[in-house]
Amino acid sequence: MKKSDLIEKVSAKIEYLTKKQVETIVDMVFEYMKDKLSKGEKIELRGFGNFKVKERNARIARNPKTGETVEVPPQKSIHFKMSKALKDAINK
């Protein structure tokens, strides 16, 4: 699903808002989520799942083409854990 598909579905459900208003709301939600995750905070959406930032340690990797070793710096990544309700819905 693309963001435009999400906006279409929401604006179809909520007829008293225009597509532009729905797009603004969706953008605000995503901006808020980006802001909280960039600060290292956890986001919990009941019935859907949790998003949290995990720190990956620095490591030594190998370039598969040349065989040369490369140092990979520490990185942050997003970890998503689905809720039991979502897991049950997917595995029906």
Domain ranges of the chain: 1-41, 43-92
44-88 confidence digits (pLDDT tens): 999 999 999 999 999 999 999 999 999 999 999 999 999 999 999
- Among residues 61, 42, 44, the alpha carbon closest in space to that of 52 is found at 42
Please answer whether residues 19 and 10 qualify as being in contact, where contact means their C-beta atoms are separated by less than 8 angstroms: no
Q: Which CATH architecture has domain 43-92?
A: Irregular (4.10)
21-38 confidence digits (pLDDT tens): 999 999 999 999 999 999
Is pLDDT of 15 > 90?
A: no
| HSE-up (13 A, CA, CB side) for residue 47 | 0
SS3 content of the chain, % helix, strand, coil (to 5): 40, 30, 30
